[in-house]
Chain A
Amino acid sequence: MKRIINYPEAIREALEQETASDPSVIIFGQGVDDPKAILGTTKGFVEKFGTHRIFDTPLSEDSMTGVAIGAALSGLRPIHTHIRMDFMLLAMNQIINMAAKMHYMYGGAFFIPIVIRAMIGKSWGQGAQHSQSTYPLFMNIPGIKIVAPSTPYDAKGCLIQSIRDNNPVIYVEHRLLYYQKGHVPAQSYSVPFGRARILTKGDDITLVGISQMAVECLRAHKYLKEVGIEAEVIDPVSLYPLDIETIEKSVLKTRRLIVVDNAWITCGAGSEIISRIFEGKNHNKNIMVYRMGFAFVPCPTTPTLEKHFYPDAKKIASRAYQMLHPKRKPWVPTSSLQREEIEFKGPF
């Protein structure tokens, strides 16, 4: 029988196994040692590994990122945790000016094996400063790897890979993915970066969903099935390096592509993926493309506005239907799928 656990349990297992097997791993960030233990992902670690390896930090995101870099220079493999990705913006100097560049600007003399865990909030009034998803900013910077797994299996495997990688890795965790359950082997394993996952096979349209939007795309896939449309849902898993080949192969088959970004779409991952598809050897093919993502406004707190802010399965399905049947009347799924996940009720 396959072992089923949820997303945060998968994260905890990855952290625990790597910390146990590699004495150079240390974990720090606001709240990693508190009773809530980053939603349980570091629970019991202080008792098991000690306060020198697992510690809370002052609210000094910039310098603590610098401390992670310095510790990495001394031979450690630090994991720095941000309970919201928005807080990581305080560390942009150390991430972009230093971590991303040091291997290069010192001619390869140093390398910076650090992992930055960044959690994206959504729903229950997270609002403008607890909901941001800034991975496109980092995709614009050479020297950083970015991974945003959507399944518990990838959550564990990608985190182990991130810790073992010799470069700065931003590990993006969506808060709503914490309700995802799935098969996760008990033993340690790593998922290599730069390999997209085809979550469902289909010939009619390619849906690329990033982070939690992969789950929305899977739901859209079910709605579309009801009207006879077979969608191929792809989760890129890692955003840098990006597996454009798998997406391209799918698009050449379906000739229709919607990229659902878990962020604003301007200069986003969707823009990047679509540009690379058109720049590829198949640029003269007749391919229809569309980007979906956050409305280009700060995220509002009230649910009546928030529901318009995010793409969701119905909006994705409706847009896909329109792409396949441009001359028909627009269609919106009327049935409501049983939600596989529990809605986030907060407070975190």
Chain B
Amino acid sequence: MQLKIWGCRGSVPTPGPGTVTYGGNTSCVEVVLDDPETALVLDAGTGIRALGAELVARGTRRIVLFLTHLHLDHLEGLRFFAPLWDPGVTVEIHGPRSPVVSLRDRILRAFSPPLFPLDFREVPARLVFHDLPGEPWRSGGLTLSSDLVLHPGPTVGFRLETSARAVAYLPDHEPALAGIDERTPDWISAGALAHGADVVLHDAQYFEEEYEARMGWGHSSVAHAVRYCEAVGARRLVLFHHEPTHSDRDLERLEDRARELNDSVDPTLAREGMTIAL
């Protein structure tokens, strides 16, 4: 079982020569399961387009998609997810609930005219919607649990756990807004999700000086990401949700800064194609 990153850019896709090393596709992570019949996917940013082509080639018939939230950079790839256009495929979509509008209808806003020429009625695949947070999802020895996290609008984070390892996925998260320092983990946003995790994929969109003008936008500085890992006792930090204005060289400076702050959490930049063994 392993994770594979198909997109780790934040906010908006950023193709071009300045982003070829770490990639320009927005958030999408595949969890490669022991069950070859099922594909588990986290978020549907533009990275999901290439993943979809691979799932078609593999002949995968059941796809379980967990969405952290419905901001476009986590959803816009869904419209170009090839398995949706196969009537033999079932796509189970899990996403944060709202008291007002169903998950299906909220996704439909981005998946219908005038933003897209088609809507769900014309999608041949079978679609099933589930609200989050809900009961943990299990497959083989893997358990996926979710909880609400600090980000504008209903947003969840995920914890993937096997008998031996745990990984937390928190791509859009601003825990500093409600406090990290002088807090026990139960009083930190998503503290239990990331507590003692071997690896945390965490929002580290900004340098500290950039964060000052963007406080409350729902994203973390590199210093907050490092501090968060320290506070919840996580072992390794994967810097995720790269700022679209940051080139590969900028990102490497960001990683240097993270290592300067705390090398012991082994801060590492997420990049497209990266795999993480569970």
Q: Are both chains from one complex?
A: no
